[in-house]
Amino acid sequence: MDWLTVTAARVHSYSSSLVSDNAIRIIHDHRHIMASSSTATEKARNGRGPTPPTLRNPNDAPPSPSLRATSINRDATGARIIVVMGVSGTGKSTLGRALARATHMPFIDGDDLHPATNVAKMTRGEPLEDEDRLPWLETIRRTAVACVLDQVGEEAVEAADGVRWLGVIVACSSLKKTYRAVLRGEGVQTLSLQSLPTYVVYLKGERDVLLARMVHRQGHFMKADMLASQLDTLESPEGEPGVVTVTVDMSTEEQVQRVVQVLGGSS
């Protein structure tokens, strides 16, 4: 078995006990997306076709210092989770995807991990409560950790800012301080990586702007009349460690630039 297979098998066995099938699908989708984006970057850089990804056998000699700095080692040193948070309609999915493109990190949309019962409840216009959100938040943390484990030993692709970003971007409302604690790994049982550093990008916006966006948004289960409960539930993360605030009146590009400026290179 090569290292890729070992990694995939480990993630699968890890995931099967702690992470849903949907999460496994998302991780595998990311592998595909990352492979495509690496290929595109490679082609753009040297005008040639793709080169196979560099996969390291864990029994090989330790990597040179320069390689160690640009790949996730077996303890996932250098990797981090970046959570994009805010109430409904702030642009978490939009910014999360844009950040993933800019940094070549994989992206997990927390909405894709809601159990059907949560989606049904929100579709009926009923706000979620702590007991609905806590198991979902644990699933998000475990999926993010599994996604990082899946990258162990792989070289990160250099982003336009020259930084090789390691880890995963997650979009999740993360409305309360206790929810963010779960996303940071507090009290969540995982097989490893309890200390994977977690940063928060806070999308901050005024009610009127968000309401206008939600009213105009088509085909989404979360309707505009849910905004009030979202804002009532929100506990601002400002003042907590590792938080970058961006406002919803900034363009997505400006938001990406701000996050890259603050978090680029730090881990």
Ligand X SMILES: O=C(O)[C@H](O)[C@@H](O)[C@H](O)[C@H](O)CO
Site for ligand ATP in 78-117 (CB under 6 A): 86, 88-94, 111
- Please enumerate in sequence order all residues whose Cβ is within 8 A of that of 204, keeping only pairs 6 or more positions apart, or say none: 86, 90, 236, 245, 246, 247, 248
If the CB atoms of residues 182 and 210 are measured against ligand ATP, the closer one turns out to be 210
* CA 130/CA 117 separation, integer angstroms: 14
- Residue found under tokens 């940063």: 199
Q: Of 28, 101, 176, 213, which lies in the binding site for ligand ATP, with binding defined by CB under 6 A?
A: 213
Q: Of 173, 190, 198, 255, which lies in the binding site for ligand X, with binding defined by CB under 6 A?
A: 173
For residue 199, give the 3-state DSSP assignment: strand
Q: Kindly report the number of other CB atoms within 10 A of residue 76's CB atom.
A: 20
Site for ligand X in 33-92 (CB under 6 A): 88
Answer whether 248's CB lies under 8 Å from 203's CB. Answer: yes
Q: Which does 257 bind (CB under 5 to 8 A by kind): ligand ATP, ligand X, none?
A: none
Q: Does 222 bind ligand X (CB under 6 A)?
A: yes
* CA 246/CA 91 separation, integer angstroms: 11
Closest approach, Cβ 23 to ligand X, in A, equals 16
Q: Kindly report the number of other CB atoms within 10 A of residue 52's CB atom.
A: 7
If the CB atoms of residues 27 and 122 are measured against ligand X, the closer one turns out to be 122
If the CB atoms of residues 128 and 196 are measured against ligand X, the closer one turns out to be 128
Interface residues toward ligand ATP, by CB under 6 A: 86, 88-94, 111, 171, 213, 217, 222, 251-252
Interface residues toward ligand X, by CB under 6 A: 88, 111, 128, 133, 173, 175, 222, 230
